[in-house]
A and B are shown apart, each in its own frame.
Chain A
Amino acid sequence: MSLLATRDLTIRFGGHVAVNAVTCAFQPGTLTAIVGPNGAGKTTYFNLISGQLKASAGQVTLDGRDLSGFSVSQRTRAGLGRAFQLTNLFPRLTVLENIRLAVQATREGGHRRGLNLWSVWSDHRGLIARADEILAAVALADKENELVANLPHGDQRKLEVALLMALESQVFMFDEPTAGMNAAEAPVILNLIRKLKEDPRKTILLVEHKMDVVRELADRIIVLHNGTLVADGAPAEVIASPIVQEAYLGVAAQNASAQDGTPPHPGVSPRRERGEQP
């Protein structure tokens, strides 16, 4: 059983406080949606949890264990899995190789520490079978021998999520998993998340702008605004709260049906990031 928690988690970039004393615990068997306008600090919060950024103050704990001294890969091995908002793959390797690398990094894969130098990669049938299973789940099986660099954007996004699925983590962090996907692609990913939700041992964190998705999937919503946690509770309750209505959701709800994953917000210019093609 894993219980992920952050206590007073804070990071400052110069004078700018991107995440401000966020204290929050995430229970297994729950899907928590993290919402907030562009630049609210959602991705930065994830970076602090998974270790890409070092906190200025505060802690991340997993099962009560302080992860402060843990490197990124140690955190992953401890059970924190993450998919990135900006697609982050191995471009000149094939789709199958990408997934298999993730499968191999797990305890099951057995090669995590195993500097297995002398066996032939293609002989590890078990790992390939597992990779094929995951590729089938994201509807990429027919493209397994293509180079990732040649895949269309939507397929790269699917692969991004597939890499996380291959890791067999305790905690799954999705950062706008369906952003930039078309109407046919998004349901594939949402189905995966629905399926994952059925497992009572998994803790799921989902950053998502599309409010219809959040409404359907979330057991709980937390709202970040300027790096501060401003609301936390059951979906209906949070969505109804005045602060959320005015600061964020009023506008977001109108845009929820739009395909674009990052709706504009009052006072916050829509910040397009590298690799985020419409």
Chain B
Amino acid sequence: MLTRLLSNDFPRNRILAVVLVGLLLALAFMPFIFPGVKALNVAAKILVFVVLVASFDLLLGYTGIVSFAHTMFFGIGAYGIAIASTRMGPGWPAIATGLAAALALSFVLALLVGLFSLRVRAIFFSMITLAVAAAFQTLASQLSEVTGGEDGLTFKMPEVLSPGYQMSETPFLGVMLDGRLICYYLLFFTALALLLAMLRIVNSPFGRVLQAIRENEFRAEAIGYRVVVYRTTSSILSALFATVAGAMLAIWLRYNGPDTSLSFEIMLDVLLIVVIGGMGTIYGAAIGSGVFVIAQSYLQDLLRLGSDTASGLPWLSALLSPDRWLLWLGLLFVLSVYYFPTGVVGRLRAMRQRA
């Protein structure tokens, strides 16, 4: 049963398994462990990133394709929900329509990008995706009639997912069963299902061909696989998963703008997470997202604390100023790449092999 669910791809390391189960349980019971608004926001962001990063891992870690257009698909998903909810009014039909339209657009764009540019050398492909992503970002800001331009769109969700909705008058385990909670669990189960689906895909016969292409494209073609077809399929799948991640984000935030879902900064975050977590493992996406989003969200608080206690030493205080969080995050990244070049997951798995 578990073997089926995990597609016979177990964590293969005890610490890794414990961390993963811990993360799963923490996310599953988050609203009951830390009932605060911020904690729930952080948890929801982790859920969105798990899907987004895993979908990028499918592309980078499994197929060896370096694309910078990944946030474009993320943005398409978020805009799909945002635009449909604004135009059609809040409700499930708007969500369904927005998601369907976004998936269709992502499919077509990924297909086009794949067919036109996966034949060229890897470096040119990466540059093309960069250009396409930049063009799309500009387009989204320009079309303010539809997308709300730089300001973005604020919209409402169906009744059950709104904060105002109460499932029962009496709190359960000290927590109000409101629309936010329902929305959180919608995200939780969606993320879990999508993660398991991606785990299945990378462990299918198709997934092994992707790895073969990553390892040696020349030989994969020589034993009879049509490399372009596999690569294009991988790009499309990855784009579709990213689109759903975008939709999840919009549903949670009830807002979407260029900075929330299309910015290049998100692309960088995704790259960092995939490298920190461990490329080509899928589990790395989960661990990396957890570590990264928590660090990103609480590093500033931690620094403020440190800065205040170190107020006697002006230079240390300045170094620990919350504005320096990016510096510390960068340092964290450099250290982790230096000490865990294969990512957290790769490192843990290697440990077991030596033991």
On A, residues with C-beta under 8 Å from B are 50, 52, 71-73, 76-77, 82, 84, 88-93, 97, 100-102, 104-106, 111-124, 163, 167
Partner of A117, one of B4, B206, B225: B206
Interchain CB contact under 8 A, A93 and B212: yes
Partner of B205, one of A77, A89, A116: A116
**Chain A: minimal CB distance from B210 (Å):** 10
Complex Cα gap A72–B219 (Å): 10
Interchain CB contact under 8 A, A89 and B200: no
Interchain CB contact under 8 A, A100 and B219: no
- With known contacts A93-B211, A101-B208, A73–B200 Cβ distance under 8 A: no
- With known contacts A73-B226, A73-B227, A121–B208 Cβ distance under 8 A: yes
Partner of B222, one of A88, A111, A115, A122: A88
Which B residues lie within 8 Å of A115 (CB)? 206, 229-230, 233
Interchain CB contact under 8 A, A121 and B222: no
Interchain CB contact under 8 A, A97 and B208: yes
Complex Cα gap A114–B224 (Å): 12
Interchain CB contact under 8 A, B215 and A124: no
Taking residues whose C-beta sits less than 8 angstroms from the other chain, chain B's interface range is: 20 to 34
Interchain CB contact under 8 A, A121 and B204: yes
User: Is there a chain A Cβ closer than 8 Å to B223's Cβ?
Assistant: yes
Q: Other than A117-B201, A163-B219, give 17 A-B pairs with Cβ distance below 8 A.
A: A73-B222, A73-B223, A73-B224, A90-B212, A90-B215, A90-B219, A100-B208, A101-B208, A101-B209, A104-B208, A105-B224, A114-B205, A115-B230, A116-B204, A117-B237, A118-B200, A123-B8
- Residues 192-211 of chain B, each 1 if its beta carbon lies under 8 Å from chain A, else 0: 00000000110111111101
Interchain CB contact under 8 A, B4 and A120: yes
User: Is there a chain A Cβ closer than 8 Å to B216's Cβ?
Assistant: yes
In the complex, residue of chain A having the shortest beta-carbon distance to the beta carbon of B234? A115
Interchain CB contact under 8 A, B8 and A120: yes
**Chain B: minimal CB distance from A233 (Å):** 31
User: Is there a chain A Cβ closer than 8 Å to B301's Cβ?
Assistant: no
Which A residues lie within 8 Å of B200 (CB)? 117-118, 120
Interchain CB contact under 8 A, A112 and B206: no
